[in-house]
Amino acid sequence: MKKGEKINLALEKSMELVKRSEIAMVGTIGEDSYPNIKAMINAKYNGLKEIWFSTNTSSKRVTQIKLNKKTCVYFVDFETWEGLMLLGRTEIKRDKESREMLWEDGCEKYYPLGVDDPDYTVFHFVAEAGNYYHKLSNVSFLIPENLE
């Protein structure tokens, strides 16, 4: 298989993995320069390019991202033994539109004051590159701008 075909197949399989994943591992850099990983709900995505998560404003992840926007997101399927690592940057969103976009019934369990809760923050991850793993094979790629 040619390199371009491998990348196209990896992009297709990566998108399938994101679509069926309820949870993603989000990696940030701590104040001590060590990586930190946290499982987060895969709240919303736009292809492989953009992924949104919600978190508590008071969480250490917010502080970490303020200091270093470089982050990674990892999806895994243990049954098929597939993995996808996306590298990019995360923006902290506190505007009403972003908050309402992710708000669902049940969110009040974590944010009792509702969509305007000061402890409710949205992360907007924008991917730049990825690495898809399956069957002892890794395929690295840049994220195309028009990928859906």
- Whether residue 120 lies inside any domain: the answer is yes
User: Tens digit of pLDDT for each residue in 52-64?
Assistant: 999 999 999 999 9
User: Tens digit of pLDDT for each residue in 85-140?
Assistant: 999 999 999 999 999 999 999 999 999 999 999 999 999 999 999 999 998 899 99
Rounded to 5°, the CA angle 100-105-111 comes to 70
- Whether residue 111 lies inside any domain: the answer is yes
Indicate if the pLDDT at residue 20 is higher than 90. yes
- Whether residue 43 lies inside any domain: the answer is yes
- Whether residue 148 lies inside any domain: the answer is no
- Whether residue 146 lies inside any domain: the answer is no
Provide the residue range defining the domain that includes 25.
3-140
CATH number, residue 30: 2.30.110.10
Number of structural domains in the chain: 1
Indicate if the pLDDT at residue 146 is higher than 80. no
Among residues 120, 115, 118, 95, the alpha carbon closest in space to that of 105 is found at 115
- Whether residue 147 lies inside any domain: the answer is no
- Whether residue 128 lies inside any domain: the answer is yes
Contact 67, 53 (CB under 8 A): no
